[in-house]
Amino acid sequence: MNKSLKIALKHIMRKVKDISLEEDSLFVDSNTIFLFLEDLRVYMRNLRAQSNVEKKKKKIKKIALKTRHFKVLIKYLDKDYDEIKKFLYLLLEARRSLLIFFEHCSKATRLFILQHMIR
């Protein structure tokens, strides 16, 4: 794994206790990385902003390399987890709709719904 990518993942996934990013041969499950997809996007945006501010060509090249690595990783996750993301977005939308519906129900209807959800 690329050293700069490893450092970035270490920064993003610092709260995950089960992953050791100190080893030379690092293995991180793609399912775990998928959980940090939005954090990866934010990190990449920050890298791009940093490259726009940076003056030294050497640092700009390093940042560009990091950005390319993240772009590949994010594209892989987007493609590989496309079906899961669609399903999760559907669940989120259904949850929002249910909450809106639930807010407009009477107290008796809410109790009835909750009782049937528990079963």
Instruction: Write the secondary structure of the chain as one string of H (helix), E (strand) and C (coil).
Output: CCHHHHHHHHHHCCCCCCCCCCCCCCCCCHHHHHCCHHHHHHHHHHHHHHHHHCCCHHHHHHHHHHHHHHHHHHHHHHHHCHHHHHHHHHHHHHHHHHHHHHHCCCHHHHHHHHHHHHC
Mean of pLDDT over the chain: 78
For the cut 70, the answer to whether the pLDDT of residue 64 exceeds it is yes
What per-residue confidence (pLDDT) applies to 107?
66
pTM of structure? 0.66
Which of 18-27, 39-48, 99-108 is predicted least confidently?
18-27
Could you give the CA distance from residue 30 to residue 54 in angstroms, rounded to a whole number?
32
Q: What are phi and psi of 13, to 5 degrees?
A: -100, 25
